[in-house]
Structure 1
Amino acid sequence: MSDARLWLERIRELPIPDGIRIMNVCGGHERSISMAGLRTALPPAIRLIPGPGCPVCICPEEDIYQAIRLGLEGEAVVATFGDMLRVPVNLGRQAVRTLEQAKAAGADIRPIASPIEARIIAEKAAGKPVVLFAVGFETTMAPVAALMAEGLPDNLYILCSGRLTWPAVKLLLDSDECVLDALVAPGHVATVMGPEEWAFVADDYRLPVAIAGFTPASLLRAIHSTIVQWLEETPRLDNCYPEAVKPGGNPKAREFLDRSFDVAAGNWRGIGPIAASAYALKPGFAAHDARLHFPDYDAGDRRHAGEMPAGCDCARVVLGRIQPDECRIYGKPCSPRSPVGPCMVSDEGACRIWWAAGVRKDSAAA
């Protein structure tokens, strides 16, 4: 019997009298859950809720607009991760609404897979300004921080939209509309930052929490752990990804993050500002801070700046208050071919994941 089947059988043997709502924070977890069909395999009393772990989905709309204008008006090369190219901002249909459209309009927009590619682009750009639009959570921002700590070319600037994961979860737990009974915490983030960062869920909120990897077996092991904790009323932090998640996390990655970034309040698209949730360049990197060296092309005079598009429920999906296929525009008009909201763009976005798994409007979850 495979490990996944073994954990599934153990879950099915548990006496679950009422429904339990378990939030899986990470977009990578959601992809694994959906593609493996775990929701349909688990007992119906278990409800798995996608959480806010998609950095593309919560990247501030105004930062995307700034990156677009940097390419079109600032005459800078803009390098960013590929998922960001198709995320729309709130402009009319005839306007340039995405980085992909800005590229088609003549801006020099370059998709990259690693921050080090931005350095290579800058070194070959003969002094032309190059802006790394850095979007991501701790796992993505650690290599950005390493790049910065090693020294940047004079013409390389950082437009930082990095975020920390745990403050958004704390916001959910503090909300009057909290929708979870237990939490599956993100394995990659815990690999970098350490498992201890998630102890507050059990210590302060008395909710079960388990860290999972990305295989069905690891996820089912974590789900089993949270249900046992819930049934026994013994909430604690359980590390179900010990092969990668070690006490204290990755010391070198954390050192780079501490050397390169301060932590400040940050805006989350569709959610709003969250205290101590954003990475910001330390003053020692002011010479490379794009916010200090380029005009603020989004001075707040756009009519719907910072908002989700009309009819889009991505914010409620990210907060776990509705399932993706309950969004008013899921599938029509919002689909991967023509995304309206950010959750349909990234392969870590819950709407995109559900669509790829075959979930259509009003159908059963994957």
Structure 2
Amino acid sequence: MMEVCGGQTHSIIRHGIDQLLPETIELVHGPGCPVCVTPLETIDRALEIASRPDVVFCSFGDMLRVPGTDRDLFRVRGAGGDVRVVYSPLDALEIARHNPDREVVFFGVGFETTAPANAMTVHEARRRGVRNFSMLVSHVRVPPAIEAVMRAPHCRIQAFLAAGHVCSVMGTAEYPGLADRFEVPIVVTGFEPLDILEGVRRTVRQLERGEHRVENAYPRAVRTSGNPAARRMLEEVFEVTDRAWRGIGVIPDSGWRLSEAFREYDAEHRFAVTGITTRESDECRSGEVLQGLIKPNECAAFGTRCTPRNPLGATMVSSEGACAAYHLYRRLGGPVPGSAPAKEASPVG
């Protein structure tokens, strides 16, 4: 079964949940880290914008070491770029208000969980008339990713643990169709060890009974309808679009971009960035990790040529990356018992 949430991945590895389960149950780590799946072209575009002398580039901290083709945001800052770590997109808006002579760009990355706050910030920028603020958007959506995983070659996933925080915003309406179409149980669960174990228990019970439906094992936070106010904000500010996922490929209708009404706040349109030539590491196998084809410590570069200080891929440096979890909690050995042999990665889009 696959968890599609980096927070759940870290909880599983930190508490050794995968090692406590019987060998007949394997937890597979999916594309649940939005920083990790941000496409390389978007990272390189961010680096180019952040290098401009008239720009204050704002981001959450886990984006600073994500490698682009030849540098990261830390190196841009070291070379004189004004790159600032913020804790909320509203912090970036305040920087823009207090620096009217500078262009302030916020790097808007995340799943459905962080999208409402980013949408609200753009909405607030227009309401306040802050014209020197823009957002570089790389938001992705979970349900299309689940469909892409199930349609991928070599897929061996029999069930999903759905991310509770995503469903707390969006609800569960998009999941029954996936469960029926691919005949897989989908259990919404939280992040504490007991939450995850309860999700596993319910999933196994469905599999043993030959069932495939959506269950909410996280009712203290998730309602079927999600958060209506947050969803209305998303519908007003964003529109659904195709999105490239790093290491995976283009997944139709899997992302958001700013709608036409808010296009003037779109950094991709405000800054003419052309001539980007991307180049991924030849050694990095993060695409296979994100598709659940291999475990992080099955990559030959893991923990040696790829470390948090010198990462080959984003999965090693993001706070939700699977490789970072394995490195942090000392899963440094060879292949995990019961894991499948390595396969060639192929686009799932």
Interval of TM-score (by shorter of Structure 1 and Structure 2): over 0.9
Verify the 8 A CA contact 1:308 1:314 in the aligned structure 2.
Answer: no
- In structure 2, the residue matched to 1:346 is 318
- Deviation readout 1:304-356 (Å, 9 max, x if unpaired): x1x53111000000000001111121111101122111100111000001111
CA distance in 2, matches of 1:120, 1:222: 41
What residue number does 1:205 align with? 182
Partner of 2:73: 99
The question of whether the paired residues in 2 share the 8 Å contact of 1:334 and 1:340 is answered with yes
Q: Aligned to 1:87, which of 50, 66, 82?
A: 66
Does the CA contact (< 8 Å) of 1:179 and 1:320 recur in 2?
A: no
May I ask how many residue pairs the two structures share in their alignment? 334
User: Is 2:222 aligned against 1:248?
Assistant: no
Give the aligned residue type for 2:206: Q
Partners of 2:102 and 2:132 within 8 A in 1 = yes
CA deviation after TM superposition for structure 1 residue 157, in Å: 0.7
Q: Deviations over 1:238-262 (max 9, x none)?
A: 1000000001100011011101001
- Which of residues 113, 138, 141 is equivalent to 1:139? 113
Letter in 1 for 2:166: V
Q: CA deviation at 1:285?
A: 1.0
Alignment partner, residue 175 of structure 1: 152
Asked if the contact 2:93–2:125 (Cα under 8 Å) also holds between the matched residues in 1, the reply is: no
- Once the two structures are TM-superposed, the CA of residue 186 in structure 1 deviates from its matched residue by 0.7
Paired position in structure 1 for 2:296: 324
Amino acid at match of 2:178: V
Partner Cα distance (2:39, 2:240) in 1 = 16
Contact 2:56 2:84 in 1 (8 A): yes
Give the CA RMSD over aligned residues. 1.3
**SS of residue paired to 2:106:** strand
CA contact (8 A) 1:261 1:281 kept: yes
User: Conserved in 2, the CA contact under 8 Å of 1:136 and 1:163?
Assistant: yes
Q: Which residue of 1 aligns with 2:309?
A: 337
- Structure 2 counterparts to residues 160-309 of structure 1, below 5 A: 160-297=137-274, 299-300=275-276, 302=277, 305=278, 307-309=279-281
- Cα contact 1:331–1:361 (8 A) shared by 2: no
How far apart, in 1, do the equivalents of 2:22 and 2:65 lie? 37
Matched residue type, 1:45: T
Cα displacement (A) at 1:124: 1.3
- 1:16-55 aligned within 5 A: 22-55=1-34
Task: Tell me how far 1:177 sits from its aligned partner.
Answer: 1.7
Q: Distance in 2 between matches of 1:178 and 1:308?
A: 24
Contact 1:202 1:236 in 2 (8 A): yes
Deviations 1:188-207 (A, max 9, x none): 00000002222223211111
Cα deviations by residue, 1:176-235 (Å, 9 ceiling, x for unpaired): 221211110111000000022222232111111100011111111110111111111011
Q: Indicate if the aligned counterparts of 1:76 and 1:131 stay in contact, CA closer than 8 A.
A: yes
Q: How far apart, CA to CA, are the structure 2 residues paired with 1:251 and 1:81?
A: 26
- Report the 3-state secondary structure (helix = DSSP H, G, I; strand = E; otherwise coil) of the residue aligned with 1:66: helix
Tell me how far 1:363 sits from its aligned partner.
6.3
Using the alignment, how far apart are the partners of 2:181 and 2:199 within structure 1? Answer: 20
Q: TM-score, normalised by structure 2?
A: 0.93
Q: Match for 1:282: what amino acid?
A: S
Give CA deviations for 1:117-151 in whole Å, capped at 9, x if unaligned.
11111011123110111111111111001112233
Matched, 1:360 2:337: no
**SS, match of residue 139 in structure 1:** coil
- For 1:358, give the aligned amino acid: R
Structure 1 residues without counterparts, runs of 5 or longer: 1-21, 92-96
Task: Please say if residues 172 and 178 of structure 1, whose CA atoms lie closer than 8 Å, have aligned partners that are also in contact.
Answer: yes
Displacement of 1:263 after TM fit?
0.5
Q: Is the 8 A contact 1:270 1:308 kept in 2?
A: no
The answer to whether the 8 Å contact 2:298/2:335 transfers is no
The letter of the residue matching 2:39 is: P
On the 8 A contact 1:119/1:156 being kept in 2, the answer is yes
SS in 2 for 1:310: coil
CA contact (8 A) 1:57 1:346 kept: yes
Q: State whether residues 122 and 265 of structure 2, in contact with CA within 8 Å, keep that contact through their aligned partners in structure 1.
A: no
TM-score, structure 1 as length reference: 0.89
Aligned to 1:125: 99
Partner AA of 1:64 in structure 2: I
Work out the CA distance in 2 between the residues paired with 1:23 and 1:263: 25
* Equivalent residues of 2:316, 2:324 under 8 A apart: yes
For the residue of structure 1 that corresponds to 2:212, the secondary structure is coil
- Please give the alpha-carbon distance, in whole angstroms, between the structure 2 residues aligned to 1:235 and 1:256: 32
Alignment partners' CA distance in 2, 1:248 and 1:156: 32
Partner Cα distance (2:193, 2:7) in 1: 12
**Following the alignment from structure 1 to structure 2, what is the Cα–Cα distance between the partners of residues 361 and 65?**
33
Determine helix, strand or coil for the equivalent of 1:102: helix
Please state whether the residue corresponding to 1:88 is helix, strand or coil: coil
Question: 1:179 & 1:101 partners in 2: Cα distance?
Answer: 40
Quote the Cα distance in structure 2 between the aligned partners of 1:292 and 1:195: 33
